């Protein structure tokens, strides 16, 4: 509307001037009533019409210019808002990308650390299992070699004890040596095994160490089981 009025302003002014000219010429052509008063009225009317037309044109022009300025300001503000919004959206997207990347890196690190821990625990468990298996094997071997598990089927305990009766008595009741028949077979076997190993377990160790070293595990088991039967 403002642009339309701006374009029509020269036309409005022209029409006003033309109307004034027509009125003036009409007054001049009436020769029967030409006088100074009428000419003055026509001149005054023409002046007023011209002033009104000029004022209308100026008003329209000012309105158009103000409207154009406001429209330009609004467009500039809208452009600035759009640019700021675009910048903020770009910043938010960049931050989100950074957070996603950081989260992915942390997750990868946690997975790696967890995997390493699981592998380490599995390795430790395997080593512990192997160690325990070896201990069990050694225990089985030791047990099999102990006098309590020695095969005495071909060993005569009474025959072995015959060489011991001089110190321990014919019934193993004791003499120079201690009473044996009051002890358990396992106690007797344990002492003979320790003597055989060279341990010093009493005042008779110097005499018993070489005697026990001459006995096999089966001999120790057989004589130990025999002496407890002499009660």
Tell me the per-residue pLDDT of 193-228, one tens digit each, with 9 for 90 and over. Answer: 999 999 999 888 999 999 999 999 999 999 999 999
Question: What's the topology of domain 150-230?
Answer: Cytochrome Bc1 Complex; Chain D, domain 2 (1.10.760)
pTM of this structure: 0.37
pLDDT of residue 27: 47
pLDDT in tens, 71-84: 788 778 878 878 88
Confidence of residue 169 (pLDDT cuts 50, 70, 90): very high
Q: Which residues of 46-60 are buried (b: 16+ CB within 10 A; e: fewer)?
A: beebeeebeeebeeb
* Residue keyed to tokens 């192997």: 130
Q: What is the pLDDT of residue 211?
A: 94
State how far the Cα of 228 lies from the Cα of 163, in Å rounded to an integer.
Answer: 16
Dihedrals φ, ψ of 210, to 5°?
Answer: -65, -30
State yes or no: pLDDT of 2 exceeds 50.
no
Dig out the tokens for 89 from the structure.
Answer: 């959206």
Pick the closest to residue 228 from 195, 179, 192 (CA basis): 179
Q: Which structure tokens are listed for 213?
A: 């070293």
Show me where the domains of the chain are located. Answer: 1-24+48-72, 89-145, 150-230
- Please check whether residue 165 is in contact with residue 180, taking contact to mean a CB–CB distance below 8 angstroms: no
Residue 141 tokens read as 């071997």
- Mean pLDDT check: name the lowest of 3-17, 92-106, 120-134: 3-17
Residue 150 contacts residue 217 (beta carbons within 8 Å): yes
Mapped onto helix, strand or coil, the DSSP state of residue 202 is: coil
CB atoms within 10 A of CB 172: 25
The confidence score (pLDDT) of residue 150 equals 54
Residue 152 has what pLDDT? Answer: 53
- If one compares 41 and 186, the residue with the highest pLDDT of the two is 186
Cβ(221)–Cβ(150) below 8 Å: yes
């Amino acid at each position: 509307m403002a642009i339309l009025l701006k374009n029509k302003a020269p036309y409005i002014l022209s029409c006003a001037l033309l109307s004034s000219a027509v009125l003036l010429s009409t007054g001049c052509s009436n020769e029967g009533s030409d006088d100074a008063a009428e000419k003055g009225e026509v001149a005054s009317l023409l002046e007023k019409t011209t002033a009104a037309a000029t004022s209308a044109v100026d008003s329209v022009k000012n309105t158009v210019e103000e409207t154009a300025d406001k429209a330009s300001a609004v467009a500039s503000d809208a452009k600035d808002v759009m640019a700021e919004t675009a910048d903020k959206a770009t910043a938010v997207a960049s931050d989100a990308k950074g957070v996603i990347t950081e989260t992915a890196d942390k997750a990868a690190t946690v997975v790696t650390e967890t995997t390493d821990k699981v592998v380490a625990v599995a390795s430790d468990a395997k080593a512990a299992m192997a160690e325990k298996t070896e201990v069990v094997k050694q225990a089985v071997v030791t047990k099999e070699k102990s006098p309590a598990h020695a095969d005495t089927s071909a060993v005569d305990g009474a025959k072995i004890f015959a060489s011991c009766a001089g110190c321990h008595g014919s019934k193993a009741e004791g003499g120079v040596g201690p009473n044996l028949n009051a002890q358990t077979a396992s106690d007797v076997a344990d002492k003979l095994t320790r003597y055989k190993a060279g341990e010093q377990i009493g005042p008779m160790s110097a005499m018993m160490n070489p005697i026990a070293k001459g006995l096999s595990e089966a001999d120790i088991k057989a004589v130990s089981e025999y002496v407890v039967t002499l009660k």
